[in-house]
Structure 1
């Protein structure tokens, strides 16, 4: 194959992929979008998807972007009639990064303007282990609803465990494992995630060692973790 032929073939392949990428998107007006319980205007799910299971029980708000190879799943199998009609609800103006997995069995609620990095995992159920003679994978755990408040950022590779209730305007650091209750306006990090900085009205953003960062408006309102904070979280 000559150099010119290779260039032409390369151009043709990428042009075809761009068309497939565009035509494969799930957007309002498509047959796939119509299968959802709610599919808001301006919302799009990137192509290819990973798994979309029982979409009639999934509700997506307006202007929400779901990345490629994302799993949105409700129930334990196709046509699961025991799952609630609104098992998975995602608000307006959300961003769900590539390869994220959100699997609901009873209730996962995600507020407005919540952004996920890539490879985030969220579930409201796990497996039991009480019966020593039954394989763990066959022991279904209890359902524990998950809530993620509006304006929150979930960093790359974070895991949100069953029963987690994350407040509004929370930063979850990359790779964190979140369980339990997380209050509004704080930064959490680690495994399990714990608060490393929180907003104190009239004072500022206060770190766990008492250092204070000022409150500011706009994109620079909250900086990342300091080297010391990261060292303490990842140390022995």
Structure 2
């Protein structure tokens, strides 16, 4: 059986998928055997892609993971595709100690600085008769389009799209979509500048 057929079989069998998910992700800790044995069998990366040695790769073949050409994931970053795929384009840099929890799609020539958090996952909390950790999760994909720059210590929440060549200022918490060619800052993040094509300048709002 080919690897692609095996992956398809796993995804089509909810019971088998749950067992494998528990084996790989139970207690929220990465497994050495997943990183060094399973992942090399299933995942192929673009030419020149680099994943630094101390990166925590909490990824499994249940959901897709891909790192594009000449892209880098720096030391002490955490990647988790347990509930959604992670796709990273080419010539993109994931900075030190960043956290990416799928579903997340990152374009080409994107910069994530240090300590950036992208989480496409939220915990359900509506039933007050149950502990939150027993209520499951919901997901909404995060999309970071080409040429964007997410500055240090920023948080991008589930369901948000960051437009092409947009900039998120350091320490921002982004809860709504960011249009292309704008700069946002704050908590919650708001537009502070936008690029004016006529003058070819960034104009403060």
Say yes or no: does 1:97 pair with 2:99: no
Rg bigger for which structure?
1
Distance 1:196 1:171, change over 3 A: same
Deviations 1:1-58 (A, max 9, x none): xxxxxxxxxxxxxxxxxxxxxxxxxxxxx96773453311101111212243216721
User: What is the match of residue 74 of structure 1?
Assistant: 81
Equivalent residues of 2:39, 2:60 under 8 A apart: no
Structure 1 residue runs of 5 or longer lacking an equivalent are 1-29, 77-82, 209-236
Q: Which of these residues, 64, 77, 82, is aligned with residue 71 of structure 2? A: 64
Change (3 A) 1:35 1:94: farther
Equivalent residue, structure 1, for 2:135:
139
What is the rounded CA distance, in whole Å, between the counterparts of 1:199 and 1:206 in structure 2? 6
Q: Are positions 1:45 and 2:51 aligned together? A: yes
Q: Which has the higher contact order (CA 8 A, sep 6+)?
A: 2
In the alignment of these two chains, the number of paired residues is 168
What TM-score does the superposition give when structure 1 sets the normalisation length? 0.66
- Tell me the CA shift for residue 98 of structure 1: 1.0
Whether 1:197 aligns to 2:193 is yes
Gaps of 5+ in 2: 1-35
Q: Deviations over 1:70-93 (max 9, x none)?
A: 1111115xxxxxx5xxx1100000
Partner SS, residue 58 of structure 2? strand
Give the one of 90, 107, 112 matched to 1:111.
Answer: 107
